[in-house]
Each structure stands twice: as structure tokens, then as C-alpha cells.
Amino acid sequence: MILTLITFLPLIAALVILLIPKERKQAMRWISLLAAAGQVALAFWIWKNYDPSLAGVDDASKFQFVERAAWFSVELGNYVVSADYFMGIDGISVAMVILTAIVALVGVGASWTIEKSVKGYFVLYNLMSTSMMGTFLALDFFLFYVFWEATLIPMYFLIGIWGGKNREYAAIKFIIYTLVGSVLMLLAMIGLYASVADPATGRNTFSLVAMANQQNFISGSALFPTAENHLLRTLAFFALFLAFVIKVPMVPFHTWLPDAHVEAPTPISVVLAGVLLKLGGYGLLRINFPIFPDIFQEYAWWIALFGVISIVYGAFCAIAQTDFKKMVAYSSVSHMGFALLGIAAVNSLGMSGAMLQMFSHGILSPMMFLLVGVIYDRAHTREMEKFGGLAKYMPIYAGFILVAFMGNLGMPAMSGFVAEAFVFLGAFSQEQTRILAVVGTLGILLSATYLLRAYRTMFTGERKPNAAYEVKGHHGEEHAHFHDWKGNIDMDGREIALLAPLAAIVILVGVYPAPVLDLMTPSLNKVAEILSAATNIALK
Amino acid sequence: MPDLIQYSLYVLLLPLLSFAIQIFFGRRLPRQGDFLATGLLAISLGISLVVFFAAFGQENFRQEWNFTWANLGTMKIQLGILLDKITAAMLMVVTAVSFLVHFFSMGYMAGEPRYAQYFGYLGLFTFSMLGIVLSNNLFAIYCFWELVGLSSYLLIGFYFERDSAAAAQKKAFMLNRVGDIGFWIGILMLFAQFQTFNYQEIYQNIADGKFAWGEGWLTVAGVLLFMGCVGKSAQFPLHTWLPDAMEGPTPVSALIHAATMVAAGVYLLARVFVILTPDALAIIAVIGAVTAFFAATIAITQNDIKRVLAYSTLSQLGYMVMGMGVGAFAAALFHLVTHAFFKAGLFLGSGSVIHALHHEQDMRYMGGLMKKMPITFATFTICLLALAGLPFFTGFLSKDAILAGAVGYANVEGGWAIVIPVLGFSAALLTPFYMGRQWFMVFFGENRADQKPPSDNHHHHGHGEAHHHGDVHESSPVMTIPLVILAAMSFFFVFSPNPLDGERGWFMQAIKTPQSVVLTNEEKSRLAAEVMTGALSGEIGKNLRQEKLAEEAHHAHGTVVALSVSLALAGLAFAYLAYLKNIGAVASPFVVISKMMNWFNDTFMEGAFVRGVGSLGVKFSEFSGGFDRLVVDGVVNLTATLSQIAGLLFRKLQTGRVQTYLALALIALIGYFVSKLI
């Protein structure tokens, strides 16, 4: 029941909000907040009660909090298509579930200032929240697919209606990009259904757990792992791969991301960077790689290569940006490259580094986007050249910026460092990816370049002549103010309340990652085992 | 957990506590918490003295403690603490200088904005520096290495409203990152081989010949680890950040950019010393010697009181690095310790002067301060003589030992290696010269404050009040007491009973050069030859090369003493003639060399290397940005346009995006099953 509850709590909130008259904005906010807080409480309960010794992955009995029931069964001629309502948690999903709950709650807090058609906004927000959570919990491919698709539609509207000037272009680009991926995923899913049988019933199944074990492929089916099916398996692998890496996003499929972020309102950027990008990495680990370990083996080096290209290229692009938010968006591309590199290393260190990077980036990037939102609300511009010397007038804001920047550039004692260090250690230990790891270290230098540059431009030195804020008062007790901003010049209580817990998580995980790491290592080691055990069938 | 390990944990964590208190509550505390931060450091110092005496009271002191930081199932990452005599000495130096700087800052920084934060940052720095010293593994030392970088960044940019300070903090961080990438790859290499970060386990593995990639790659690993030192200890060619770092408050310069953090590179070399191959050591020796000489020449023509000291620090760090390179392990560490005290004394002394002159830093407008600031003058003089390398002061003992090592190294290696002692002795002449210049310009002659052009307030600290020149007087006791203590630590008897020989002193007696674990190809063939001839004696595991170096250094000692004493006296005499008697002919050869080196430094090191590579990077990133927008995204938009055109052709099929897509999906699904059924 717990998984159904944590998934559909926001949906219930959405239904309640539908019944409320649209003038009662505050009630809608509080209902959403309550649902999100409920999710966090449930996630906390899951964290406490999760048994990290069980690996899961390809063994249905080693999943936890499992809920399984027949969902539907359709007869097509003499062919029966049936899907289950099958949910469960293992080490691949548990950290993502916790992350999703936290980010969704922060997102509601960040939505407090949205005034444009509040009712529609929160209905869509809660729909999206439900589908995100469901995607991480679904163990039936069909169910996964439904949740996956269900995240897209609310996102489309949330960017397209509540976004900035160019919102429609960004929203359409986002939806087309991801729909291309979805169509490919659908095809691969159908092929897999036809090829995999549930060991318990002997009937075709959408179960991702069954698919993760090569023994469950039906002999003679299209995707049965033999040499003659190599081409079909490769095609299916890349169909899934494309669907997921568009979401990650991996260079060169990343250009939807900067546009989507720049146009999206702050809370949607928070959710997009914090959770939706992780759906891609999660899909690779849960679906794409364990189901086609042989094909993965064949292309692991290339995946690592594109991971490193994302790290370095994304960082170079970030340096070139003058818009604060766009810089942060490109830095996401760069940081998610570490996840790819880590997975492609196929060892404990690389895998846990990749997963930790997804968790860490899932906390750090919402911080960054919230911080961008703070200054954008006040100045109505994100051009970094329009500030200068802000640290003097906004010391709390500058403090949080420093924490977020240092976390992002891989300062030890913060989560990003641990994740990236593990990725490097894992990738360098593997002969295949060693050189790529060395090239990837360039990312450490480049991330410091764009972040310290941003800090230098916006926060230190003197106020720029054409700055977006004015300074009044005598020497020694100047006050800064933004043109039409009536609130605090520095961060207010709500903003601090959103950022402080995230900062705390970043530091706690960075100092002592074991509480998060221990949840995931058995499952990740299992995945690494599956992936490295697979031999290349084409060569056999 | 053994008692001493527990004590050292308190030493480590008290400054962190100070940081947390100061950042969150500092401003609400009386006196903004300065007494609290200083008090916590005093306790930390007290405990580290206990550890220090316990460690040096025993013959072979070594304690280690580990805990599992991360367990990945297939492997564990263990971190921990290593306490030996080197650690104990460093604990004492770091907490002592840090405490004195805290104390001094209560006077120097009084009335500054962000006063509470300042003490917080000092606490963060002290914590991270102690972490470097206490770590027993490369992973943790790297973490703390970055954290001292962070606190250095925060403190260089303490007056971030000034553009120059903001630029300096960024530059320091970036150049350190360049070095750190090398350091990190070096760690990756060792970890990939041995699956451990622990020093002792790495030594053992290499001693057992388990480094599978051969001696050449071990040299590479050593040089990569050394890159961390090049960044942090500001060695050539990554040195340019340190002079700029003088933008930070002066007590910070004393603590971080003279006494402790910049010496961390030398400490790192000490920790990895035994796995460095002779080739790696040669590179280290050359880099150190070049830095020692190069920086000393530049110091001659600097006019900013702090920048002279900054280049002097570079030069002295060069000595330490050179010492490690030539195998004078104990001497290099000894110089680290003695330098920490007298250089902190010089920086705090200059702080006392700057404070008294209301933030005047230009020596051209000083002069005649001897009578007005007698305590500052006396303490500054003692520390200066220690730095200049005069007998009866600590600097002489340690520098002398390093130079003896350099001479020994040149004798053993022969040929090109003569460059190293030549550069070393040249720097030994230049050091008393530039320090003498500073001494005469600041404390002797007439006061020249009135010669200052009125518009030249470059180093103005942002105080609104009008300057009060003229009424210069000695600083308050809160500032002079640390000066007196640091000056007292600069007399020879603190470290050795013999004013001319540090070897007999407790430090050099307690800390010995460890046996190298690198089995070089040369050693291997020697061993093989001895096995063949049956001459294999009890010499296995003894590194003949190291023994020879030590022996030669010992022989050279007498010559070196005579030479370095005469150079020190000559340097001071030249400075006296040139800058007190104003005989231009004496100064000009030094000035000419200095100007040349300055030009080289500005044009190539700052210009081509730092700014050139920097702007190249920016250019390339602008290209990437444009490429991304025009090409990568262009292809996407082109595809979209093409499919729109296709869409126009198939308009009749199109009833709306989502519907079309669902229909297409359904058709695909049905099509698939149909094909399957047939």
C-alpha cells in the first residue's frame, strides 16, 4: 500500500484542488504542500524500513514493498496482451524515490509565488509529481511507460503556459524531442513483451524484473540472445538508449534542455533538473543495460566517450553563457556526463559514483535553479553582467551561492565531490576507460572556471555601471534596492527554508555518504555483475 | 582508539567548531566572538603540545587509526589518522602560528566589516590544514587539500569589494586547480594499481615490486603528485597566484600564504618521498632551485612591503622543495618549521607597520620607523636575520642543511646537477640583499610619508575616514606580544644547541630521512650482479644512493657553512651600501637582473601562460557555445523544419499532434502483432 500511497497522494491533491473555487489560491498551495510533505514522510519511512542487504534487480523476491496485481488483459486474435500493476523498490530506485519526494516538496515551496491561474498550475504540478514517482516505482514496463508519458504532458503545459517569453518554442521542442524517444521506447517495449516470459507463469510479460534475466527470453523469439538476433537486439538497445539519453541529456541530444530551463518558471526548472533528468539515468540502469548486457558490453567504451564529451563540451558551453540560468543548464549537461562515464566503467566504484552523482545533482541543481530564481524575481534579468558586488548587499544569498557553487565544482565535504571522485576512481581503474577518465578530469578545471567566473562577475568587485540594482545611502551604510522589488533585498524566510535543507543534505552526504551509499551498493554491484558477466554474443 | 589519536581529533575538530560558531552566531556574540575563536585555538594548541611532547619523548613513535568511510561491498574505502613525529611537529607549528595569528587579528582587524566571519574562515582554514597533516591516506589529504584552497579563496577575497582582491582570489583557486588535477591523476594511478589510499600500504606495495607499469610510470605518478605541490606551494610555473594573494588581510598572509598552507606542498612531498624515483626527484630539485632563485631576483625591485615578503616566501618554498628533491628530507622539513615562525613574524611585523601607517604598504613612503615602533623593529630584525641566514638564528641552521644536501647531490650526480647548488647559493646571496633593502627602506633614514602623491591610494582598504599621517606609534600589546613570541622562536637554541649546526638539534635528531622503497632499474641490476657474484651482504633494502647522498652532504657541511655565512654578510653589506648609503653602482647589477626577471615573469608567466591560456580557453568556449547554438541545435531545428514541410504534404492525415502520435503508435503495435501472427 505504501508505494501506491506515495505515488498517488499528489493525484488526490489534484482532485481536491479541482473541486475548490479558483479564488482560493492559498488553500490550493497548502493542499499541494501537504501532499508533498506526506510524500516526504512516506519516503522517510521507506528509507528507515528499507533492507539494504537485498539486491533486487533481476530477482522479484528481493524487491521490497512490492505491490502486484493483474491490471488488464486484451485479446488480439489468439494473442493475449496483459500488463500488471507491479511496483517495488530496490537499490536502483530507493535513492531516486527519496530524491523525488524531496524535490517535489521544494518545488511546491518554490511555486508559492506563482499567481497566474493557480488552480491549473497546481493540478498539473501534482499530476506530474504522481507520474514522476510512479516511473521510479513501476516494475512493469507498460506501467513504466504510462507513467513516463504522463510526466510529459503536464511538463509541456507547465513550460508552455507558465514559462517566459519564448515558452512555446521551448515547450514544443521539449515535447517533440521526448516523444521521439517515447516512440522508440514503445517499439522496443513491444518487442520485449513478445520475447520475454515470466518464469512463474510461463506467459509473455512486461515485467522488467523478468527481462533483466537473459534466461527468461523465449527461445526463438525476436530478441532471444543469439548471434542471429544480434542486429535486432542492437536496434532495440539503441531504441531504448536514445529514449533515455535524450532525457539525461547526453551530447548531442541536449539542446532541448537549455531552452526548456531558460523558459521554465523556477519550480519547474527545479523539478526538471532535480528529477526528470534522473529518469534518463534511471532508465539506463533499470531497463536498457540489464536487459541488453551483451550489447552494452559492446558499446560501453562509446557510452563512456559520450559521457566524457558531455562533461567537457557541456562545461565549455557553460563558460560561454552570459545568462545565469543557461550557464546552470549547461552545467547540468556536464555533470550528468559523469553518470554515463561511471556506469560505463562497470565496477562498484563507477556505478555507485554514477548513482550518487544522480542523487547529488538531484539536490544541487534544484539549489542552483532556486538561487537563479531568487535573483530573477528581484532583478527581472539573469544577465550576469548586470550585477557585480552583490555579496556586499546580499550576504546570505552570496553564502548560499557559495555553497551551491562549491558543491557543483566538486569541493570535498560536499556530495558532488564524492560522486565525481568515485566515478573517476572507477573509470580509471578499468583499463578500457582509463584515458577517458583522464580527459574527464578537465571537467574539474572547467566547472571551476564557469562557476568562479559567475561568482566574480555577479558577487564580488564593484557594482557594474549598468547594474540591475541601485545603491543609496552614505558611504559605510549603503543600501541596495531593486527597481520594483518590495520585499527583502537579501533572501527572505521562505527562500532560506527551501535552500537550507538542500545545503544540509549536500554537506551531510559529502562528509559521510554511507547512509545513501549503503542503500544502493548491493543492487549496483548486482547490475555490475550482470553487465560484466555478459559476453559479446556476436563474437561467440 | 589510542589516547593520542583521540587528542589529535580534538585538535582537529576545535577549529571546526570555531568556524561553525562564528559563521552562524558570531555576529550576535559579544566582541563578535573573537575571544571564543582565539580561546578554542588556544585549547587546540595546548592539546597539540601534549601530543608533541608525547611523540618526541619516545624513540620510535608511530600510531595509526582507521575507520571505514565507505563500504561498497566489493571494496572498502578506509580513512584515518597517522601520528608520527612529523605529524606531531606540524600539529604544533600549525596550531601555534594559527593561535598567534588569531591573537594578533584581535588588534589588527578590529573594526573591520565581517569581523566575525573573518575568525570563522580562520577556523575553517586551521581545521583543513590540520586535516592535511593528520591524514594517513591520499584521499583524505586531497579532500583537505581542496578545503585549504577554499579557505584561502575566501580569505584572499575577504575585501571582495576591491576588484583586485576579487581577481586574486579567483586566480589563486584556478592555478591551484591546475596543480590539483595532476595531483588527482597521480592518486588515481596509485589507486588503480593497489586499490588503497593508505600511505603505508602504498609504500609496502611498491617495495614489494607490485607497481606493474614499470619505473617510468612510477616517475610519472611521482611528478603528477608533485604537481599538487607546484600549485599549493606556488612553485614555478604556477607561482603567480601567491604574490597576488597578498590582497588578503595581512595576518592571513602570515598564516596561510607564508607559514602553513603554502608549505603543505612540502609536507606532501615528505609523505610520498619514499615512492619518488630518482628521476622524479631530479625534476623536483630543479623546479625548487629555479623557484628559489627566480623569486629572489624579483623580490629585489618590489616596493610593496608585503609583495617583497611574498616573493621571499616563494623563494624559501623553493628551497624546501629543492631540499626534498636532493634528498635532504629532514632539512627540508626543518626549514618548513623554522620558516613558519620567522616568516609569520615578518608578515605580522609588516602588518604592525601597515596598521600603524593606516594601510600604507608602499615602502617608498615609509622610513625611519625604528624609533617610533621599537618592538616591531626589534622583532622584525630578528626574524629578518633568521631569513637572511645569519648564524645564531634558526633560518641559518635549516637553510644550511638544505644547501649541504644540494652540494652533496651535485657531487653524487655530477654534470648538470651543479646548477642546483649554484642557484641555491645565488639565492642565498639575494635573500639578505632584498631583505636588507626592505629593512633599510622601512625602518631607517627619514620618514618619506609626505612624498606620497595624493591620488595614489591604490591599497586603500575602503575606510571612509581621512588618513592620519604623522602620529605613527607602536602597535598595542595584542599585536606586539605575538611578534615577540615569533621572534623568540627564531633563535638557534630553540632547535639546536650548536648555532652553526642543526644536525645536533632535537629536530634533526628525531626526524630522519626514510628509506626509499623504489627499486630502480639501477638498483635491480646491482642486486642481480651481487647475487651472481655471491657478494650479497646485509645490504638488501639499503638504498646505497640515499646513503651516498647523506654522506656527501655531511662532508660538504663545513664548506657550506663558510660560504653561506659570507654570502649572508655580503648580501646585507651590499644592501647597506645600496639603500642606506645610496651608492647606485652597488644596487644596479641586482636591479638589472631583477628587472629582467620581472619582465620575463610579466610577459611569459603572467602574460602568455596565465592570461594567454585563460583567454584561449574563453575563446574556445565561445566557439563551443556558438557551435552548440548554430550547428548542434541548428540540425535539430532543420529536422523540425523538414518534418513540418513533410507535415504539410501529409496534412490530411494530421488531426493534432497527440492523436497522430497515438494513432501511429497503435498502427505500429498492430502491425507488429500482425507480422508476428503471420
pLDDT digits (tens, 9 = 90+) for A27-75: 999 999 999 999 999 999 999 999 988 888 888 888 999 999 988 888 8
Which letter does DSSP use for residue A216 in this model? G
pLDDT band at B675 (very low <50, low <70, confident <90, very high): low
Residues of A in contact with B69 (CB under 8 A): 512, 514
Residue B466 has pLDDT above 50, yes or no: no
In sequence order, the 6+-apart residues with CB closer than 8 A to the CB of B126 are: B15, B18, B41, B44, B94, B95, B98
Residue B524 pLDDT > 80, yes or no?
no
DSSP string of B587-640? Answer: HHHHHHHHHHHHHHIIIIIIIIIIIIHHHHHHHHHHHHHHHIIIIIHHHHHHHH
Residue A83, SS3 per DSSP: strand
Output the pLDDT for position B668. Answer: 64
Confidence of residue B536 (pLDDT cuts 50, 70, 90): low
For residues B213 and B218, what is the distance between their CA atoms, to the nearest angstrom? 7
Predicted confidence (pLDDT) per residue in B216-252, tens digit: 899 999 999 999 999 999 998 899 999 999 999 999 9
List of chain B residues whose C-beta atoms are within 8 Å of the C-beta of residue A177: 636
The residue type of B113 is: P
Asked if the bond preceding A465 is cis, omega within 30° of 0, the reply is no
Domain residue limits at A395: 2-535
Nearest residue to A332 via CA among A320, A317, A322: A317
Interface of B with A in 112-141 (CB under 8 A): 139
pLDDT in the model for residue B616: 87
Distance in angstroms (rounded) separating the CA atoms of residues A8 and A147: 12
Q: What are phi and psi of B408, to 5 degrees?
A: -60, -40
For residue B621, the distance in angstroms to the closest alpha carbon of chain A comes to 5
| Closest Cα in chain B to A413 | B143
pLDDT band at B140 (very low <50, low <70, confident <90, very high): very high
Mean pLDDT of A272-288: 93
Q: Please give the Cα distance from B151 to B122 (Å, whole number).
A: 8
Residue B535: band (very low, low, confident or very high) from pLDDT cuts 50, 70, 90: low
Helix, strand, coil percent content, chain B, rounded in steps of 5: 75, 5, 20
Q: Is the pLDDT of residue B541 over 60?
A: no
Does position B664 have pLDDT exceeding 90, yes or no? no
Q: Do you know the residue count of chain A? A: 540
Residue type, A356: L
State how far the Cα of A25 lies from the Cα of B545, in Å rounded to an integer: 81
Q: Is A540 part of any domain?
A: no
Residue A470 lies in a domain: yes
**B73 chain-A contacts, CB cut-off 8 A:** 348, 521-522, 525
Which of A81, A319, A323 to probe the B interface (max B CBs under 10 A)?
A319
- Would you say B163 and B257 are in contact if contact means Cβ atoms under 8 Å apart? no
pLDDT at residue number A55: 85
pLDDT of amino acid A230: 84
d(CA B562, CA B571): 14
Residue for grid cell 563558460: A319
A94 touches chain B (CB under 8 A): no
The answer for residues whose C-beta is within 8 angstroms of residue B477's C-beta and 6 or more apart is none
**What distance in Å separates the CA atoms of residue A210 and residue A57, rounded to the nearest whole number?**
9
Q: What is the pLDDT of residue B660?
A: 59
Question: In angstroms, what separates the C-alpha of B150 from chain A's closest C-alpha?
Answer: 8
**DSSP helix/strand/coil, B66:** strand
Q: Which residue has the cell 582537529?
A: B12
Whether the Cβ atoms of residue A345 and residue A425 lie closer than 8 Å to each other: no
Q: Are strands B62-71 and A479-482 parallel, antiparallel or unpaired?
A: unpaired
Q: Report the alpha-carbon distance of residue A118 to residue B631 in Å, rounded.
A: 39
B53–A contact, CB cutoff 8 A: no
Largest CA distance in chain A: 86
Helices (H), B258-328: 264-272, 278-299, 305-325
Q: What is the largest CA-CA distance in chain B?
A: 109
Which of B:432-461 have CB within 8 Å of A?
Answer: none
Q: Which long-range contacts (CB under 8 A, 24 or more apart) does B629-636 make?
A: B632/A251, B632/A252, B632/A254, B632/A255, B633/A255, B636/A173, B636/A177, B636/A255, B636/A256
pLDDT at B677 > cutoff 80: no
Q: What is the pTM of this model?
A: 0.92
Residue B661 pLDDT grade (very low, low, confident, very high; cuts 50, 70, 90): low
Give CA separation, A273 vs A266, A335, A359, A431, A448, in Å: 11, 11, 11, 32, 20
Q: Which residues of chain A have a CB within 8 Å of the CB of B669?
A: 186, 190
Is the predicted pLDDT of residue B263 greater than 70, yes or no?
Answer: yes
Q: Is A323 helix (H, G, I), strand (E, B) or coil?
A: strand
Three cell numbers at B433?
Answer: 640583499
**Given an 8 Å threshold on Cβ–Cβ distance, is A320 in contact with B181?**
no
**Neighbour count for residue B418 (Cβ, 10 Å):** 15
Q: Is-contact A163 A211, C-beta < 8 A? A: no
What is the rounded CA–CA span in Å between residue A528 and residue A347? 6
Phi, psi at B456, each rounded to 5°: -80, 80
Taking only the tens place, the pLDDT of each residue in A426-453 is 999 988 899 999 999 999 999 999 999 9
Res A539 pLDDT > 50: no
Q: For residue A232, which residues of chain B lie inside 8 Å, CB to CB?
A: none
Contact B380, B349 (CB under 8 A): yes
Query: What are the two backbone dihedrals, phi and then psi, of residue B80, each rounded to the nearest 5 degrees?
Result: 180, -170
* pLDDT, position A137: 94
- Determine contact, residues A425/A349, Cβ cutoff 8 Å: yes
Count each helix (H run) and each strand (E run) in chain A, helices first: 22, 4
Determine the Cα–Cα distance for residues A533 and A294; give it in Å rounded to an integer.
9
Tell me A383's DSSP state: B
- pLDDT at res. A436: 93
B198 neighbors B78 (Cβ within 8 angstroms):
yes
Give me the pLDDT at residue B589, please.
86
DSSP classification of residue A91: T
User: How many structural domains comprise chain A?
Assistant: 1
User: For chain A, how far is it from start to end, CA to CA, in angstroms?
Assistant: 46
B670 contacts on A by Cβ (under 8 Å): 76
Query: Hey, which bits of A56-190 come out as E strands?
Result: 64-76, 79-89
Residue A329 is assigned to a structural domain of this protein:
yes
Which chain B residue has its CA at the smallest distance from A456's CA?
B166
Instruction: Say if the Cβ atoms of A412 and B144 lie within 8 Å.
Output: yes
- The residue-averaged pLDDT of B391-414 equals 90
How many interface pairs between A and B have CB atoms less than 8 angstroms apart? 161
Which residue of A313, A438, A476 is in closest CB contact with B464? A476
- Residue A14 falls within a domain, yes or no? yes
Q: What is the mean pLDDT of chain B?
A: 87
Q: Are A137 and A3 in contact (CB under 8 A)?
A: yes
For residue B534, name the pLDDT band (cuts at 50, 70, 90): low
Give the pLDDT of residue B467.
47
DSSP per-residue string spanning A137-164: HB-BHHHHHHHHHHHHHHHHHHHHHHS-
Q: In chain B, whose CA is at the least distance from the CA of A251?
A: B632
Asked if A316 has any chain B CB less than 8 Å from its own CB, the reply is yes
Q: Is the pLDDT of residue A371 over 60?
A: yes
- A395-405, pLDDT tens digit by residue? 999 999 999 99
Could you tell me which residue, B217 or A537, shows the higher pLDDT? B217
Minimal CA–CA distance to A538: which of A197, A191, A298?
A: A298
A392 shares contact with chain B (CB less than 8 Å): yes
Q: What residue type is B281 in one-letter code?
A: L
Q: Does A413 touch chain B (CB under 8 A)?
A: yes
Alpha carbon of residue B47 to chain centroid: 25
Mean pLDDT for A358-369 is 95
Identify all chain A residues contacting B195, using CB atoms and an 8 Å cutoff.
429
Cell for B241?
A: 597566484
Q: Which of A119, A152, A104 is nearest to A6 (CA)?
A: A104
List chain B residues with CB under 8 Å of A347: 74
Give the Å distances, CA to CA, from A294 to A299, B328, B638, B654.
9, 55, 35, 40
Distance CA A442, CA A440 (A): 5
Which pLDDT score, from 0 to 100, does residue B22 have? 93
Contact A521 B71 (CB under 8 A): yes
- Asked if the peptide bond before residue B237 counts as cis, ω within 30 degrees of 0, the response is yes
pLDDT exceeds cutoff 90 at B663: no
Neighbours of B361 (CB within 10 A): 20
Grade residue B678 by pLDDT with cuts at 50, 70 and 90. Answer: very low
Residue A363 has what pLDDT?
95
| Grid cell for residue B595 | 628587472
Q: Do B166 and A460 touch (CB under 8 A)?
A: yes
Query: Which DSSP letter does residue B655 get?
Result: S
Q: What percent of chain B clears pLDDT 90, i.e. is strictly above it? A: 55
Q: Which of B174, B636, B673 sits opposite A452 (nearest CB)?
A: B174
Helices B214-232 and B264-272 meet at what angle, rounded to 10? 160
Which cell is B591 given? Answer: 636591479
Helix B544-575 and helix B394-413, axial crossing angle in degrees, nearest 10:
130
The answer on pLDDT for B414 being more than 90 is: no
User: Which residue, chain included where needed, has cell 550547428?
Assistant: B631
Q: Which residues contact B645 (CB under 8 A, 6 or more apart)?
A: none
- Is A75 part of the contact surface with chain B (CB cutoff 8 Å)? no
Confidence of residue B462 (pLDDT cuts 50, 70, 90): very low
Beta carbons within 8 Å of B470's beta carbon, 6+ residues apart: B449
pLDDT at A496: 94
Cβ contacts of A452 within 8 Å, gap of 6 or more: A405, A409, B170, B173, B174
